[in-house]
Structure 1
């Protein structure tokens, strides 16, 4: 099925306070269900893979940047230049090249969905001459937009197992080859994403991948949708795809789930939490909230253009995560589930969970680095629907607990399966009042690579920041930082430079002018401990700081440098 089914808008769900409180014990859990969080078992850097949205943005300012920066969107999927698609009877909107600058300002990569050049859904095929002419026009428009540097892929078609007209256009596999080749004849650099089928289908995917492999037209990013109610199968689907790669001799590709969450799930924080947890654990590269209703709301996160819904707070908590994602283990795939992070620079654990009613337990292990006594805060956000503004989460408790054997159990009574819950665990003293260190691997990374090294802060860094001459491959890292006051901050940059000579990158923030950062040579690549310092004048609240080898309006850096972190003091 598909996101644009003609269904009546669901009514806003009345907010009901749960009256939940927290009880902290150090004994083995005896609750109905337990989510286990192993803080000592990191498995990937925080990149907020599932924070994006299909058709998230409407113009260049709807919703406003102030609603987008806190959620730190990983990726958006937008219609192509010249969009004619009229989803749910709305006028055409969300043209990728019109919204691109807002996505860039807020750190989001972008996929351009080409078939939305058609006005109707399912798409109404005209002819091959018509389609290839449209492809030429769309790709040429993107190629002319030389200040747009965040395009991560072209999506060649959408849900071909549902929308492709085989009778008129021939087989989709042959159509994929013709379209792939046409795009590549005009743009040999921008990745191609697909096949974007409605849901995982191993037989369909095997046939498609075999044909694409044999014709040298494999997608650079592999995509399918998780609709409806398939969150419990995400891990199995990803595993099945990886097995197909091995079977067919295809090198591993990033995975995009660019639509997740059915109509009765997408606005329910507890259900969205379950999807995010499974997408994070499965190791997908990016995932997007499905589009069911209105443009310009990030699919129900924003109401009245500038107010948060209950779901927005879930994604804001997600945006607050830093450091590394750590392992969470639910008792079942259909009950309580959640995702968690640990930031060793602040010694702070975040756990976001939900999708269960009654009394349940979150058991945290591997807490030895936090000391013998920890502060534990619990809050939740309601299942308010997409039309009800929620000005703040519901605070439930703020207390201390003794860590025993590196573990603490948090019992949460009276849970509501529709709500999402948030636990923060940190030392009782010595925690900075605001985040000061920002890891490069947690930032928005464009045309560079997240890597790992034992000497890197939190174990990760960004390298291969190599490209400066072509707007489609400009290499840069955008740090979204949040500071308490407007003033000049000293910014230390952890880096490595194995060139043997001083290298440079460009520095700009909040869309302002460029300055140059110089990096003297260090012991070698991937060997960290060196820093350079500069100053930045930041406004109170959210700011975007860019370090670039290449970027629009910047002449380009010299040599090469790897980035470990920035630290504001």
Structure 2
């Protein structure tokens, strides 16, 4: 067996606590046998409950990158939540990877539990045309009328009704109508039959064939209830098309596999063919956004080849706390993305140190023979990991392989996670008898890891890893602290009703004028560095002062984070970023609650989790072909020696990649590619064509263009109708090009109708630029903000980036904040050129950014921002940026 130690593999290691490489106390072994196949990759564990709010919340790039295949949403016209209507979000869901849209039919009711927890009787008469009702009986069970209205709405309003699954009952064993099984069994079974038949009746009326129905939807695995329901449904021709129950809590990481085995055994006992399973709610608060936790759930569900949906604990439209900001990734999102990258593979046998154990090392292994690519995802331990890899077939991988290890470390629910760094890489490692031992240093138990193994490629993976920008990280509890307190965040406290802290601890009580946290760090060169602080500003924006070597160096401005209750207040963490110039050598970075040591800054009592310092002098990220998603016949090409391992594109073949931008602005997008003849390469960004490159003959080429990217995830699609091979795509930040953008403070724009300026007091701690914003926009076409065409007086494609606040809530719920996504419409001379929904920002004083693409056809007609039908978000600043500046350049290599 070839053994590759951490020292030999490591090309660039993210520095760990106190600036030293992260080390653990012991090593655990994860065995992966690529010769033992366990089935086609299913990829259904990235499902989500109410992960979608309104159209574009979350954005298409975030949804597609996470490869969401199934989601449960609100019934059409339902009143349980103000957003999340299945039909309204279906276009974005089905656009790329969406397969099955589930509907919680009972979410037609506004109350939780539904109808006050009581089974409805016949007290109402529903108007099937509108869904409204009068309070009088009509001889029809009230819920049956609701079921008919919901099914009819999907049949008529949806473009994809055949891809819906109806869930008539959600948690009927809990507080929803049928908790007393001995006394309510017969009633439930009769009701199941009635609702099943009603849905089928509607489908038959519309010629839609068989309607898919899921159930029973119990709060947990209920063997007695499940047996009774399946036995009855078999006898009455009403078997569910998808069998559903929930796996919530901490111990479910240990008990789920037995529950699943018991279910399959029950099917056999009853003489039933296997029914597809969807665990439509799984995980606790503590699991969301945490790659080392999520991979444990993913592994179980992928092993059993079921679909599963993250539970909805907070608000709709953020993938159950697995995305950050309106368009960003947190660390958990990257685990979703890595898992989705396995599409088209076969899974393989993985042996962890202990199976069916809570909070332990678990993993997923997969092999894509067509592309000669093997992947291991793992996490869940604080110990270093030895990967014992076997079954690396010489006919697939050859005698030598390239290895790359990427790390996603916890950034909090709202903390922006950059593209995961390569923390270890090796070129041409010899494989003996199909075996390879790889030692991976682990940052902490909440981090997740991706290992990609391919045949020895023409790309120097070690050199690419070494070329990454320098970075260092420190846990807040390891900083030098003054008048602040270290708190332990037990991952199993409160039954999992909490959010986790990197390293298991954070720093709070940062509420005195003398509170400070300091970090001595040695930087390698003169230049600009980005300091990112992961911390929680509970419900309001706040500030810290930054000092470098005891000299004031700026303000760290935090946006507000969720502070709904004790489970989120202080624990729901975001991130703040600031650029600072440093000279080479040792520096003391100091975060302080006061600028003068006497006066506390507004809302400075912010929990601190960790800090990351990254060089941005040359801020580049390489996306190699080995990490591309290859669609429509595109594949990795291992036949061409000089470009082996490149992605071969031809005709409709497409490569998708998801590039993170820590800042909205201009980036050089550079592509290394090759052609066998004259050809072209087309590049689309965030769903719209951006630029193209042309080669006039056979050759190897380096092409580049300056393209506007938006904060967070940017979906990049590459095509070459005539044929080409792409080795890698690289993004390089170009701050000098930002002068091409036009920034307009909303208060300096033309205000129409009720639109009015509000000045913000410094005491709010707001992150509004100029401490003012424009509100009362919308709720009528006359109430708008107008932008004259100063500085962008040319037709063409633009990104409009809006800095906004939206803290609107509607209705009440036991635990979900009832957030409203506000719509903003952009018109040019009265013609709509774009619109987008703007998600919740936690506070009216806290501003986020959301970008939308527009194509302008004139050079003089003003842009108008508003909403004729409802209130638009409050507007702080608008930045209009040409999507591409200059001409693309192609050079022969």
Q: TM-score, with normalisation over the residues of structure 1? A: 0.71
Q: How far does residue 418 in structure 1 lie from its aligned partner after superposition?
A: 1.0
Note if 1:398 corresponds to 2:425. Answer: yes
Which residue is equivalent to 2:782?
A: none
Instruction: Indicate the residue corresponding to 2:156 in structure 1.
Output: 144
**Unmatched segments (≥5 aa) in structure 1:** 1-14, 24-29, 87-91, 443-477, 491-509, 513-538, 546-566
Alignment-derived partner of residue 281 in structure 2: 259
What's 2:190 paired with? Answer: 174
Give me the CA root mean square deviation.
3.5
Answering whether residue 146 of structure 2 is matched by residue 134 of structure 1, we say yes
The match for 1:433 among 625, 644, 658 is: 625
Residue number in structure 2 paired with 1:116: 107
1:209 aligns with 2:238: no
**For the residues of structure 2 that align with 1:337 and 1:479, how far apart are their CA atoms?**
34
Counterpart for residue 437 of structure 2:
409
Pick closer, same or farther for the CA change 1:179–1:345 going to 2, 3 Å.
Answer: same
8 Å contact 1:107–1:480 — kept in the other structure?
no
Distance in structure 1 (CA, Å) of the matches to 2:292 and 2:373: 23
TM-score of the superposed pair, with normalisation by structure 2: 0.46
Query: 2: distance between equivalents of 1:479 and 1:185?
Result: 42
User: Which of 350, 363, 366 in structure 2 is aligned with 1:341?
Assistant: 366
C-alpha deviation, 1:151, in angstroms: 2.6
Structure 1 residue 339 displacement after superposition: 0.7
Per residue, is there more strand in 1 or in 2?
2
Supply the distance in 1 between the matched residues of 2:89 and 2:18 (Cα, whole angstroms): 37
CA, structure 1 residues 19+361, in 2 after alignment: closer, same or farther (shift >3 Å)?
A: farther
Q: Where do residues 80-479 of structure 1 align in structure 2 (5 Å cutoff)? A: 80-86=75-81, 92-109=82-99, 110-124=101-115, 125=118, 126-128=120-122, 129-149=141-161, 151-166=163-178, 171-188=187-204, 189-229=210-250, 230-284=252-306, 286-322=307-343, 323-333=345-355, 334=357, 335-367=360-392, 368=394, 369-400=396-427, 401-429=429-457, 433=625, 435=628, 438=631
* Residue 427 (structure 1) shift: 1.8
Q: Do the aligned partners of 1:353 and 1:421 also contact (CA within 8 Å) in 2?
A: yes
Q: CA deviation at 1:19?
A: 6.0
Cα separation, 2, equivalents of 1:149 and 1:107: 16
Which digits, 9 at most, give the CA deviation of each residue in 1:134-154, with x for residues without a partner? 111111111102523563311
Aligned equivalent of 1:57, options 29, 32, 52: 52
How big is the shift at 1:511? 11
Measure, in 2, the Cα distance between the counterparts of 1:297 and 1:122. Answer: 23
Return the alpha-carbon distance in structure 1 between the equivalents of residues 281 and 21 of structure 2: 32
Q: How do 1:492-511 and structure 2 match up within 5 A? A: none
1:441-484 superposed Cα distances (whole Å, 9 cap, x missing partner): x9xxxxxxxxxxxxxxxxxxxxxxxxxxxxxxxxxxx9984179
For residues 104 and 511 of structure 1, the distance between their equivalents in structure 2, rounded to whole angstroms, comes to 17
Secondary structure, counterpart of 1:351 in structure 2: strand
Seen in structure 2, the aligned counterparts of structure 1 residues 407 and 22 have a Cα distance that, compared at 3 Å, is farther
Looking at structure 1, the residues matched to 243 and 255 of structure 2 have their Cα atoms a distance apart, in angstroms, of 17
CA spacing shift, 1:485–1:32, aligned 2, 3 Å: closer
Distance 1:386 1:370, change over 3 A: same
Aligned mates of 2:374, 2:52 — CA distance in 1: 31
In structure 1, what is the Cα distance between the partners aligned to 2:23 and 2:435?
16
Name whichever of 382-391 and 124-133 sits farther off: 124-133
CA contact under 8 A between 1:113 and 1:156: conserved in structure 2?
yes
- Report Cα offsets for 1:68-110 as digits up to 9, x if no partner: 1122111111111012113xxxxx2100000011111132121
Provide the rounded CA distance (Å) in 1 between the counterparts of 2:199 and 2:304: 30
Change (3 A) 1:289 1:247: same
Q: Aligned to 2:36, what secondary structure does the other structure show?
A: strand
3-state SS, counterpart of residue 303 of structure 1:
coil
CA contact (8 A) 1:112 1:151 kept: no
For residue 436 of structure 1, report the CA deviation from its aligned partner. 8.0
1:32-80 deviation per Cα after TM superposition (whole angstroms, max 9, x unaligned): 4221111122222233111121111111111110111122111111111
**Quick one: distance in 1 between partners of 2:290 and 2:327?**
20
Contact 1:340 1:352 in 2 (8 A): yes
Q: Distance in 1 between matches of 2:448 and 2:631?
A: 26
After superposition, the C-alpha distances for 1:295-350 in whole angstroms (9 at most, x for unaligned) are 11111122221111111111111122242222212121222111122112321111
What is the alpha-carbon distance in structure 2 between the residues aligned to residue 327 and residue 134 of structure 1? Answer: 46
Question: Judging changes above 3 Å, is the alpha-carbon distance between structure 1 residues 414 and 143 closer, same or farther for their aligned structure 2 residues?
Answer: closer
Give secondary structure in 1 for the equivalent of 2:247.
Answer: coil
Bigger radius of gyration, 1 or 2?
Answer: 2
- Within the candidate set 39, 58, 69, 1:74 is matched to 69
